[in-house]
Structure 1
């Protein structure tokens, strides 16, 4: 007798198949959940930095480094080339104006000075000879003028006498005519002597002017040559401290070569390097601040050097008000350079989150503090302490500002206390 075998509904194979399908669906669902932006992550609050968004005074600034320099620096260059023969002081010495620093030698210049002096002495000798000759010539012309006047007077006397006698018919016309001719001859001779004497005077005056100009030119040339030789002794142009002296005995220095510099110690300035990104926003009058010995001091830009080198340009800043005591040349200062005026803004503390988000979003903590979720934000300018919030947050909001390196792909953080 046949027996009806009842078919089993849940075989082992069927159960395993259903379990596999269920696991696969669960895996796909989990994968979708974790990659669709709805993922969550438990995070201990002790590992986070939570900051509150607040209203406050905002001023955009950037940190820069500045080097303290003397307010005035005078560079010492070799006016004339030569060999260093003697050093009178060493680098770092305090100098007074006119004090010698070092002495150079230049035989060509010294020989030129001797030749110029000889030329001037020869010119003086020639001028004296010419002057004596001119004086002698003038004396001769004066003597001739005196003779001409005397001869004219005598000829005039004889002429007048003979004229009277001729009119009385005491003498003949031959004798009268002779005296008349003599008179007019002496008269013309006197006029000629006067003309010669006048011409001599004009000539002497012209020669005197030319000789004076020639002498002054030679004297000027001699003065210039003496100054060039005098420049072989390098002297301090002002009172100050000698720095960067680059000269050793026996060393040859070319004309125009840098020998050192003199720092005028009447005050200080600060030479600051700024990133070229800010070149359009930097101008004379901007201020900055720094701390020295627990005291804050102010600086103001006085000069902008627009030449960019290696992505940076420089500005000179001067102290506003008091100058720190004990500050020294070459000292480095960390300065906060203000790029704007102070204004009321919504402020967000700076933190490591910016590296992962670029300031486009942030984790905002819920009202009960149990979770933090992504919100889109817009940040504006920044300073060393905070960002200026333009959109996405309100005063009193709490946000996570520490680094998002381990959970930047999470949509929500579940905050757990340790």
Structure 2
């Protein structure tokens, strides 16, 4: 007996057709969604950081490290070379100005001093002998001058008398001529003797001046030699603490070799390393601050060392106002160095988003707080905590500042609790 076979309502062919159409629709819809920039991603609110855009004081500053150093440091070098003969103090000792530190021995220098002293004493003796001889010579010349002057006066007297007697016919012409010749001779003799005495006096004076100058030069050289020998005993140039001492008894130290240093106890400064990128923007007068024992202390740049080593240069900063109690030489401080004065600006808190966006865009949270979408922004300067925002957002806007590492090309975030 034949059965009536009922026709199936959903045949395999029909199901496959419907599935194919649905796939095409889904493909088209997905393509439209992605090409229209509406790709979305669900994110957990607890896994992101939402920050608010605020208007406030912005100051561009950079974090730098500084090392506490004595305000004044005097380096001790060997003024003269020699062998370390004696050490009076050890490294770390507190000294007063003039206190001896070490004594060097230099036989050649000490022998030169002895020879110079001998030469000075010999020069002094010779100068005294020359002075006595000059005085004796002067006395002799003066005696000669006295004799010549006396002979001249006598010849003048006889000449004048014989002239009168000749006029009176009391003597003959022959006798008068003899008196006249003698007078003329004595005139020439006196003139010559006077000239010789004058030249001798000038020469004696000149020789005396030269002898005294030579002796003064020799004494100056002697004093210099004595100072060089005295420098063999190295003394503290200022009050302070002896540090970095490098000398042991028996060691030979060359001239100019470093021996140690004296750190003054009058205060501290901070030596700061800065990246060479900021060299053109660093100058004396810039300020910085740091935290120490839960308090903020201020510093100011006093000196800039423009020499760049390994991509960094150094500056010296001094404390402004109070110096922290308990601070020690060699201590490292984390300093915020200000590169500008405070100005009013839109403040965007720093975060991990910058690594993926380069500061060109950011996810802005919608007013209802349920989604976040991309917006273009412009960033100018930065500080350790904030970026200076110049375009793209307004005060009160909320943005996601945590890392975007897992977001890829997502255009919109769906915020889930």
Task: Please give the TM-score of this superposition, normalised by the length of structure 2.
Answer: 0.90
Greater shift in the superposed pair: 148-157 or 350-359: 148-157
In the alignment, structure 1 residue 356 sits paired with structure 2 residue 356: yes
The number of equivalent residue pairs is 413
Distance 1:402 1:224 in 2: 73
Deviation digits for residues 342-378 of structure 1 (CA, Å, limit 9, x no counterpart) = 1222112111111121111222222222222222222
In the alignment, structure 1 residue 155 sits paired with structure 2 residue 155: yes
Structure 2: 5+ residue runs without aligned partners?
none
Q: In structure 2, what is the equivalent of residue 81 of structure 1?
A: 81
Distance 2:80 2:305 in 1: 31
Distance 2:327 2:6 in 1: 103
Distance 1:78 1:331 in 2: 30
Q: In structure 1, what is the equivalent of residue 237 of structure 2?
A: 237
Q: In structure 2, what is the equivalent of residue 374 of structure 1?
A: 374
Distance 1:105 1:21 in 2: 107
Q: In structure 1, what is the equivalent of residue 92 of structure 2?
A: 92
Q: 1:409 to 1:189 in 2, by over 3 A?
A: same
Q: In structure 2, what is the equivalent of residue 309 of structure 1?
A: 309
3-state DSSP class of the match of 1:223?
Answer: helix
In the alignment, structure 1 residue 146 sits paired with structure 2 residue 146: yes
3-state DSSP class of the match of 1:151?
Answer: helix
Q: In structure 2, what is the equivalent of residue 215 of structure 1?
A: 215
Equivalence map 1:40-51=2 (5 Å) = 40-51=40-51
In the alignment, structure 1 residue 282 sits paired with structure 2 residue 282: yes
3-state DSSP class of the match of 2:249?
Answer: coil
Distance 2:130 2:216 in 1: 17
Distance 2:216 2:280 in 1: 56
Distance 1:100 1:362 in 2: 68
3-state DSSP class of the match of 1:265?
Answer: coil
Distance 1:45 1:163 in 2: 147
Distance 2:135 2:376 in 1: 108
Distance 1:342 1:167 in 2: 120
3-state DSSP class of the match of 2:214?
Answer: helix
Equivalence map 1:266-281=2 (5 Å) = 266-281=266-281
Q: CA deviation at 1:237?
A: 1.7
Q: 1:376 to 1:225 in 2, by over 3 A?
A: same
Q: CA deviation at 1:206?
A: 0.7
Distance 1:113 1:24 in 2: 110
Q: In structure 2, what is the equivalent of residue 254 of structure 1?
A: 254
Equivalence map 1:369-408=2 (5 Å) = 369-408=369-408
Distance 1:92 1:120 in 2: 43
Q: CA deviation at 1:9?
A: 9.7
3-state DSSP class of the match of 1:266?
Answer: coil
In the alignment, structure 1 residue 104 sits paired with structure 2 residue 104: yes
3-state DSSP class of the match of 1:322?
Answer: coil
Distance 2:24 2:255 in 1: 89
Distance 1:21 1:108 in 2: 111
Structure 1: 5+ residue runs without aligned partners?
none
Distance 1:86 1:47 in 2: 70
